[in-house]
A and B are shown apart, each in its own frame.
Chain A
Amino acid sequence: MILDPRVPAGNPSTAWARRTSQYRLVSPANRRRMTVIVVGTGLAGSGAAAALGELGYNVECFTFHDAPRRAHSVAAQGGINAARARKVDGDSLARFVIDTIKGGDFRGREADVVRLASESVRVIDHLQAIGAPFAREYGGQLATRSFGGVQVSRTYYTRGQTGQQLQVAAAQALLRQVARGTVNLHTRTEMLDLVVADGRAQGIVSRNLVTGEVDFTPAHAVVLATGGYGSVYFHSTLAMNSNATATWRAHRRGALFASPSFVQFHPTALPVSSKWQSKTTLMSESLRNDGRIWVPERPGDNRAPGDIPEEERDYYLERRYPAFGNLTPRDIASRAARDEIEAGRGVGPLRNSVYLDFRDAIARLGRDTIEERYGNLFDMYLDVTGEDPYTQPMRIAPGAHFTMGGLWSDYDQMTTIPGLFVGGEAGHNYHGANRLGANSLLSACVDGWFTLPLSVPNYLAALVGSEPIDLDAPEAVQAMREVEARVQRLSTNDGTVRPVEFHRRLGEVLYQGVGVSRTDAGLREAREKVVALREEFWRDVRVAGPADRLNQELEKAGRVADFLELAELMVLDALDRTESCGAHYREEYALPDGEAARDDEKWCNVSAWETTADGAHIRHLEELTFDLVPLAVRNYR
């Protein structure tokens, strides 16, 4: 099947304005009779729920957290891009589109990126207004900085805690609607299934994590803003509770899953250095503005970094990519780091990292300036490692971070199930095969505040006057039974191994097989291992404790079970796509200089997967066309 993204025909630059002027509307009096479910309270979820609530819809909002502010958007550090283009550094809306499309290695949807760029301007205005204190110049104007993959300065920030500030502001805006009674917020409640009836998404089945109660909530439309699945790798920069269950369950109900193998490995994560380490902490990419990345020239050099003279250091990014230097896009920086580590030039006790050095920046700008720019990141580094980055270089390594893949959606953010919408990292459309830094907060905010509140009502307009599905509708009863049976099966399985152990082992398989680089043989092996691990899981998982009260083992088991299904699809997609593009690097498909070799003849498209009821996988395609940014080989030299 060839998928139609329903992009407005004609000039992509004006597509969004034309589309919004054609959207059908719902009158204010009818809005309160219509229910929209929003799952997730990150930037996309809080934004969509708050904005739809402000418009007067009856919003049911779900989060598995105890408070909306905890959603993982909170952990983003560096900033949010906006094509405001106020300076004379050559930035423009067009430049933003070029950077994003090129950064994504021509595997994103151009029209969606244009929308992202044009709405980015008022995103900053709105977030500032609802309480995010963006960094300011002494003249009182908004301050900006640069991020990887661009040569202009368009990233707005609040110290190293931009995500936190935006997320707290978004959660406040959401709670304002809770106080007004337009949003009904369900905390500590996890979505476990989607209810599809008459071919439309009509509600969700959720489990109250405190009481164990399984419930059905009907609605006219459902928005999933449940984040990415990078935590499938176990050691990742994601939060402990981040998971793929909501999107995966929707996928099993028929929503196609796009580009599951497109995973970004963040070049400035902290290396794994002990067996008990529970995650790989992220250090913001903004550090690459002032930090210089290097390794010793000689493999196995055991000297302390300060003892290695300048001429024996290899600033390999500056050497290989002189135009962008330390600010090359993430996929390239991660691959380059992996090359150095594999060549034996890695540093640190396990030789699995590279240096990120601030010596020169401190000498040039002074310690105070560096402290103001990155103070909390430096503190965090000291906490995690016990090493002081003001006096010795940081050690960094690629870590699983952001998933460009997600539920496939059309230009209106609607998935292949009518009435099921997607926002933020749970979706797929902007970032192609590699996301640029600071575009993630932006896409979540644009989806939540400025796309879904327009496109969801267009869908609802056709349903005005209809009641939500009955609580005892057969589809709802069936979905609830299935959820209850699954919970029962997990919690009574006669096994011996904790769910977290399966997760750890799955992560090892995935880093090995579907990591920074992939090969045909490695992927085939990974697939076998994933399938075997999944069988072992269902045979031997043990969930201690009962299902009728707070039970984190049970929560984890359900999430790992879904990861084990998703992982197979990730491997399959990586195996199927016989080209290298962005973060998807197949060693068989490389240019003579080692850079990714795209195959635009065959693969200038998005793979969107269907998983049938019996577990078979079918690949569909959306063809990509580029009108504003001509297809070209990426060049950051």
Chain B
Amino acid sequence: MRVEIEVWRQDSPEADGRFETHVVEDATPEMSLLELLDRLNDQLAEGGVEPIQFESDCREGACGACGVTVNDTPHGPVPQTPSCRQHLRAFGPGRGGSPNLDSGSSASANLDLGSLLKLRIEPLRSAAFPVVRDLVVDRSSLDRLIQAGGHVDVTTGTAPDADDLLIGHDDAELALDFAACIGCGACVAACPNGAAHLFAGAKLAHLALLPHGKLERTRRAGAVVDQLDGEFGPCSSYGECVEVCPAGIPLTAVAAVHREKLRAAFRR
């Protein structure tokens, strides 16, 4: 199948960026979005053009390294799926990129192989994520949130027996729902305000549910919220973040930011 790709090129953080258009003639429905970029890079190299820089690592949806914006949607047209796991078989034809969601089982049958797929691929866009080069952005602002307070103050070797601290099955599972965040930053890129409440809230909710993190809950909330307000936009509860989150972090994570903030305010 034929895919026309409009792709963002930018030489350095300071340089102006631009779109370039390329066509991949021999794309296949099984290809992932990133394998399509691999193929395009082969083609560019053959033609003497420098390959497009983009990030990916595990290509299994766990590391959070990948993430590009496809037709205005962070990660691509398939909801709640990282770029590495978006396959062309699920993309509908045309710019809108309306995905063929039930294409799972009979993938290629639903795809009109003669049609032209058009994709516009650019970096995750947010004021908090400066472009490093081409599709690569700097997401260190997320780590600064974790650094501010997204951790537990336990020194190596001093932990109590994990079997002596009972944690209910459902609490552990709920903590895991929040802890599943892969730190890709798509939530920030999807947010019209550039807020990182889903990311920060997932961490606050995850740690608030576990016994070891509870004692520093108030202090943690204050530190994380201060950092959040300093580097990211405000949350207007649009919920765009949830639509793109590849880890399925629920909107209650956003509520957790407000709850933890309020709770901390009353306890100060």
Contact = CB atoms under 8 A, between A and B. Distances in A.
Interface stretch (B162-170, B235-243, B260-268): B162-170
A54 to B, nearest CB: 5
Contact of B176 (A128, A133, A273): A133
A75 B11 contact: no
A617 B161 CA distance: 48
Contacts, number: 225
A135 B161 CA distance: 15
Interface string A56-72: 00000000011111101
B56 A67 contact: no
A69 B156 contact: no
Interface in A335-356: none
Contact of B132 (A133, A282, A550): A550
A72 B105 CA distance: 30
Given A133-B175, A178-B147, A179-B148, A50 B156 contact: yes
Interface string A246-286: 00000000000000000000000000011011110110000
Interface string A132-145: 11111111111000
A575 B191 CA distance: 57
Contacts of B161: 125
A282 B152 CA distance: 31
Contact of A273 (B30, B50, B151, B213): B30
Nearest to A168: B179
B210 A133 contact: yes
Interface stretch (B32-40, B116-124, B249-257): B32-40
Interface stretch (A310-318, A382-390, A529-537): A382-390
B62 A164 contact: yes
A65 B184 CA distance: 13
A172 B39 contact: no
Contacts of B50: 544-545, 553
Interface string A19-62: 00000000000000000000000000001001100100000000
B258 interface: no
A171 interface: yes
Interface string A446-471: 00011001000000000000000000
A386 B103 contact: yes
Contact of B58 (A50, A74, A175, A277): A74
Given A74-B63, A498-B45, A276 B139 contact: no
B35 A130 contact: no
A74 B66 CA distance: 14
B5 interface: no
Contacts of B244: none
A187 B161 CA distance: 34
B207 A131 contact: yes
Contact of B56 (A86, A240, A273): A240
Interface in A99-138: 122, 124-126, 128-138
Contacts of A552: 51, 53
Interface residues of B, number: 83
State the main secondary structure of chain B at its contact with A. loop
Interface stretch (B68-76, B81-89, B91-99): B81-89
Nearest to A160: B62
Contacts of B113: none
Contacts of B212: 128-131
B160 interface: yes
Nearest to A84: B163
A359 interface: no
A161 interface: yes
B101 to A, nearest CB: 12
B156 A140 contact: no
Nearest to B168: A140
B172 A134 contact: yes
B3 interface: no
A380 to B, nearest CB: 6
Contacts of A14: none
A278 to B, nearest CB: 5
B14 to A, nearest CB: 11
B104 A386 contact: yes
A66 B139 contact: yes
B201 interface: no
Contact of B166 (A47, A140, A241, A282): A140
A545 B44 CA distance: 12
Contact of A544 (B49, B81, B169): B49
Contacts of A559: none
Contact of A137 (B49, B158, B169, B180): B169
> In this complex, which of A47, A178, A240 has the most chain B Cβ atoms within 10 angstroms of its Cβ?
A240
Interface in B132-166: 132-133, 136, 138-140, 142-143, 146-148, 150-163, 165-166
Contact of A70 (B65, B85, B105, B159): B65
Given A125-B160, A133-B176, A276-B39, A281 B60 contact: yes
Given A72-B57, A131-B210, 10 more contacts: A175-B150, A176-B147, A210-B132, A276-B31, A279-B59, A382-B104, A449-B157, A544-B51, A549-B12, A552-B51
24 contacts: A47-B156, A75-B60, A122-B157, A125-B160, A131-B151, A131-B207, A131-B213, A133-B172, A133-B175, A133-B206, A134-B162, A141-B166, A142-B162, A161-B180, A163-B62, A165-B179, A172-B151, A239-B58, A277-B30, A383-B87, A498-B42, A549-B12, A550-B132, A553-B51
